[in-house]
A and B are shown apart, each in its own frame.
Chain A
Amino acid sequence: MPFFLSHLQNAAVRDRNDKRIGTLKDLVIEQVAAVPEVLGLVVKKASDLIYLPLKDVDRFDRQGVRLSLEEAFIPPLPLPEDKVFLVRDLLDAQVVDINGAKVVRVNDIVFSQLKDHLFVSGLDMGIWGLMRRMGWARALAWFVKMTGVKVSEGIIPWDSIEPIEKETTKVRLSVTSDRLTRMHPADLADVIEDMGHQQRHRLFGELTNPQLADLIEESEPHMQSSILHELDPERAADILEEMEPDEAADLLGELTDEEAQSLIDRMDPEEAADVQHLLSYEEDTAGALMTTSFIAIDEELSVGDAVRWSRKELAEAEVISYFYLVKADGKLSGAVSIRRILLADAHVRMKAIASKQLVFAHAHTPAKEVVEMVTRYNLSALPVVDFNNHLIGAIAVNDVLDYLQPEK
């Protein structure tokens, strides 16, 4: 039978002779543990707070706590300030529900007892927990019985939560945000929206650069630039290098020219040049949407050579559904889908298997027309040329999805 912190809070603490010593104020757990064990109690005795290790407790029940000591033998122990105090640090704090990918508040804490040990087994985020805290659990039980309304339990097991420390106490609740860093970047992006500045700052410190780059790509635009502001410029530049050039360019476009330039200056020159080039296109045009991370191949190459030649780029490129063919002078001449390449003989020339109709956009083509082309011809990517018909980029269909969704 599980029991709850709300049952213990302010319960009477008695010694072995049933003499009342004080009231239970808090429970102390180990900082980090897969299943956190309760180490001891904080008891308010007269006007002092004293610490009692769990080994001195005889039993817990709804009536309160009974110790196995006499009052006179209670050792004078200092409060273990470096540990986590459940009421002070965890109750009413926010935690990340890893499976639900959302930030919730702790209404109550669930314990399970195993022989002489007491463990935190889960956290209660639901209405029941709330009502227990308010002292209205009975009223709710009565209401449920009378009306038959279902009020679901909101208990989340300990192993699927990641606590976030309270803004007001800031006791570090975990050593690494291991569970957070393993979340899908899109889920994590939702979660950080609800965190305070300090908490986000700590999390960023624990993410690797590629992880942070993924997180930024998945975040809302206003969040993206704010994350970038929170990083020191060197790291921000490293992260921009990790990002796809078009995403990096979009993000830099949100900043003031001055800020963007200072970050570009810190980037690797090659990556910086790509990004800067993309930045020069006007917003909502093919040029601004495109990426420079795609595969361009001499049209005269054989299929086998083309694949061999582009293997390294294939591993990193953003647009991989087509190989785009160029003439010796860099002009776009055709597109070959990956499917055709896989089906073709290795010695056939690329030129020979290119699609008959070539659909492409100019750098200044408005985003709306790009979307129309992509949907009408059912393409997964679209090449982009400059005014000399030189191939300069490609647009992946997922980069135009935003224009497809109806405005919120």
Chain B
Amino acid sequence: MVSLNPFKRLNWRNILLFLSVIGPGIITAAVDNDAGGITTYSLAGAHFGYGFLWTLIPITVALILVQEMSARLGAVTGKGFSDLIRERFGVRWTFYILLALFIANLGNTLAEFSGIAASTEIFGVSKYITVPTSALAVWFLVVKGSYKKIENIFLVASLFYATYVISGLMASPNWGPILKAVATPVISFHADYIAMLIGMVGTTIAPWMQFYIQSSVSDKKIQFKDYWVTRWDVIIGCLITDLVAFFVVVACAETIYRHGLNIETAKDAALALGPLAGKWASMLFAFGLFNASIFAATILPLSTTYSICEGMGWESGLDYSFKEAPAFYSIFTGIIIVGAGLILLPNAPLISIMYWSQVVNGMLLPFVLVIILWLINDKRLMGKYVNGPLFNFLTWTLTLVMVILSVLLVFSTLFPHLFGQ
């Protein structure tokens, strides 16, 4: 195992190395707090107060475990997740898994564009202006820019998540009860609580993340001796993600929950913060939502497209022209057009699209987790970098829990009255 202690190696070489290797972990984790994530955390805080703070610790641990394995697969093999699925399980499995990923991510992209619409409407700009503009901006940034540049822009964009920390602090939280809530696991078997728990886990650990981090780690052509840096990239990213989630929950708990208000969306949350925590807290919250949505609206279509093309063996990459890689550009452009276009259609069945993509997300995750565990324990593939016994125990347990939660998620989405709502 590679040592996790960074301090004995804190020197110039390692700082430079860190700067050249970071990105995949932090970016994946930042995109994780997308429109759907922020909405879920807002609702958790607004409806349950501090009730969900303790779950952030096990969720963070779970997230780190899963993301680290995916990053390790990428670093050791130099290949993407869909490449490995294709080589190990053949074309049929690959096709259906990628189809599920496509549907799930199309729904997620739609949610990002609706996040863009909601956040900019708080600032009084019509979605008929901001959604098409954002879609075009995203398209041009990716197609006409370079990945290196995009990555740097996103590392900077990750800093804007601090807006949530600030709006959380502006809600003047009571640290005593908060710390106590973080350290005290409370499980309620109330239907609403279970539904929210599933939502929290489902939004934080999503299948696209494993595809994305493995591809971007393998693209960096990281040498295994430098892998410990990637591991820190992953860990720091996950910690930041859940720190942001923490402050979103706190902001909503301190204000909306305390005053007994009812909200349904992240936009409601941002608006409700205004009178309770001040106009600036509300603005920062809305800006954070915009940043998160546009960030994810860029990464999700791109990552989906790469995964599909890699697995199906189609030319992929921004170095190719449309003629050389027609599938790549068509899929990428298609996801953005459909994602942004549906938001603007007056009678589009948005709710049911997001609902079905949630179902597909939930069905896909168990497969992804089992395949990861399968591949990462393959000695021929991973050599000495297979999981150790303790790691395997933790990750199989986690997978089991995730499978149960995913099944519950799928059922509760299909049968909304399952938990008696």
Contacts and interface: CB of A to CB of B under 8 A. Distances in A.
Interface in A242-301: 256, 258-259
Interface residues of A, number: 33
B380 A170 contact: yes
Nearest to A133: B91
18 contacts: A92-B94, A105-B86, A107-B313, A125-B313, A134-B92, A166-B87, A167-B79, A167-B84, A168-B84, A169-B87, A170-B380, A196-B218, A197-B77, A197-B78, A226-B223, A256-B12, A256-B13, A258-B13
- 6 nearest interchain CB pairs? A105-B313, A197-B78, A226-B221, A196-B78, A166-B87, A168-B88
Contacts of A169: 87, 380
B141 to A, nearest CB: 13
Contacts, number: 72
A104 B79 contact: no
Contacts of B94: 92
B91 A197 contact: no
Q: Which among A168, A169, A200 has the highest number of chain B CB atoms within 10 Å?
A: A168
A102 B314 CA distance: 11
Contacts of A168: 84, 87-88, 375, 378, 380-381
A256 B76 contact: no
Given A92-B90, A130-B91, A167 B381 contact: yes
Interface residues of B, number: 32
B384 to A, nearest CB: 14
A408 B148 CA distance: 10
B338 interface: no
A167 B90 contact: no
A54 interface: no
A331 B366 CA distance: 73
B95 interface: yes
A92 B91 CA distance: 7
Interface string A129-171: 0100110000000000000000000000000000000111110
Interface in B304-329: 312-313, 315, 319
A175 to B, nearest CB: 21
Interface in A95-109: 102, 104-107
Interface in B69-99: 76-79, 83-84, 86-88, 90-92, 94-95
Contacts of A102: 315
Given A196-B77, A408-B145, 10 more contacts: A92-B90, A92-B94, A93-B87, A94-B83, A125-B313, A134-B91, A167-B84, A168-B87, A170-B380, A226-B221
Q: Which of A94, A167, A200 has the most CB of B within 10 A?
A: A167
B10 interface: no
B184 interface: no
Nearest to B89: A92
B78 A200 contact: yes
Nearest to A105: B313
B146 interface: yes
B404 interface: no
A125 B418 CA distance: 47
A104 B145 CA distance: 25
B16 interface: yes
Given A130-B312, A230-B223, A197 B76 contact: yes
A168 B379 CA distance: 9
Interface of A: 91-94, 102, 104-107, 125, 130, 133-134, 166-170, 195-198, 200, 222-223, 226, 229-230, 256, 258-259, 407-408
Given A92-B90, A105-B86, A169-B380, A134 B77 contact: no
A91 B79 contact: no
B221 A256 contact: no
A222 B146 CA distance: 13
B107 to A, nearest CB: 24
B401 interface: no
A408 B147 CA distance: 10
Contacts of A226: 221, 223
B300 to A, nearest CB: 23
B17 interface: yes
A192 to B, nearest CB: 10
A133 B92 contact: yes
A105 B77 CA distance: 17
A259 B91 CA distance: 43
Contacts of A93: 87
Nearest to B327: A127
A258 B221 CA distance: 20
Interface in B359-382: 375, 378, 380-381
B327 to A, nearest CB: 10
A134 B95 contact: yes
Given A133-B92, A134-B92, A196-B79, A167 B313 contact: no
B308 to A, nearest CB: 12
B380 to A, nearest CB: 6
Given A92-B90, A134-B92, A196-B79, A256 B380 contact: no
A167 B218 CA distance: 13
Question: Which residue, of A197, A259, A407, has the highest number of chain B Cβ atoms within 10 A?
Answer: A197
Contacts of B88: 168
Contact of A167 (B12, B87, B95, B315): B87
Given A92-B90, A167-B79, A196-B79, A229 B223 contact: yes
